[in-house]
Amino acid sequence: MPLPLPAQPTALRTSAWRRGLWAWPFVLALIFSSTVGRWLQWSDEQEREEDRRTLIADVLTLESRMSEWLAREDNEVKLLASVLPRQVNDALLLRERTVVEGLRRLWVSVTVIDSGNRLLAHVPQQTQHPDGSSTGASSDDRGLSAHLSTPVRGGGRLIVRFAPASLLRLTVPWWISRKYDVRLVDDYGQRIAATGDALPTAGRQSYRVSMDPHMPDAFLELTARDVRPPWWRTLPMGLMVVFVILSAAASWTLRRQMREVVSAEARWRTEAAWRRAIEDSLTVGLRGRDVHGRLVHVNRAFCSLVGFTPEQLLGQLPPMPYWLPDAVEDSMQRHLRNMAGNAPRDGYEARWQHANGAPIDVMIFESPLVDAHGAHMGWMGSIVDITERKRSQEREARQLEALANQARLTTLGEVASALAHQLNQPLAAIAAYNAGVLRSLESLQVQSPLVLDALGRESEQIAEAGRIVQRIRSFLTRRAPQPEPCQLTEIVQLALSLLRRDLARQSILMQTHATDKLPLVLADPVLVEQVLINLVRNAADALTGVVEPRIELVVGRAGPHFVRVDVNDNGCGLGGRGIQELATPFHSTKQDGMGMGLSICRSIIEAHHGALEAGQSTLGGACLSFTLPVDLTQEPP
Q: Residues 371-398: pLDDT tens digits?
A: 777 788 888 888 888 888 888 888 877 7
Check: CB of residue 488 under 8 Å from CB of residue 555.
yes
- Residue % of the chain over a pLDDT of 70: 83
DSSP helix/strand/coil, 127:
coil
Check: CB of residue 488 under 8 Å from CB of residue 521.
yes
Q: What is the pLDDT of residues 128-186, one digit of tens each?
A: 444 444 444 444 445 577 888 888 877 888 888 888 888 888 888 888 888 888 988 88
Average pLDDT across the chain, whole number: 79
pLDDT of residue 141: 46
67 has pLDDT over 80: yes
383: nearest Cα among 320, 291, 292: 320
The pLDDT confidence band at residue 275, using thresholds 50, 70 and 90, is confident
Question: Cα separations (Å) of 353 from 305, 319, 329, 356, 506?
Answer: 9, 13, 15, 8, 50
CA-CA-CA-CA torsion sign (550, 551, 555, 557): positive
Check: CB of residue 224 under 8 Å from CB of residue 179.
yes
12 has pLDDT over 50: no
10 has pLDDT over 60: no
* Domains, in order of start, for the chain: 53-224 (no CATH), 282-385 (3.30.450.20), 391-479 (1.10.287.130), 481-629 (3.30.565.10)
pLDDT of residue 580: 72
pTM over 0.85: no
Prior bond to 319 cis, omega within 30?
Answer: yes
Q: What is the pLDDT of residues 306-318, one digit of tens each?
A: 888 888 888 888 8
- 117 DSSP assignment: -
**C-alpha 304: how far from chain center:** 29
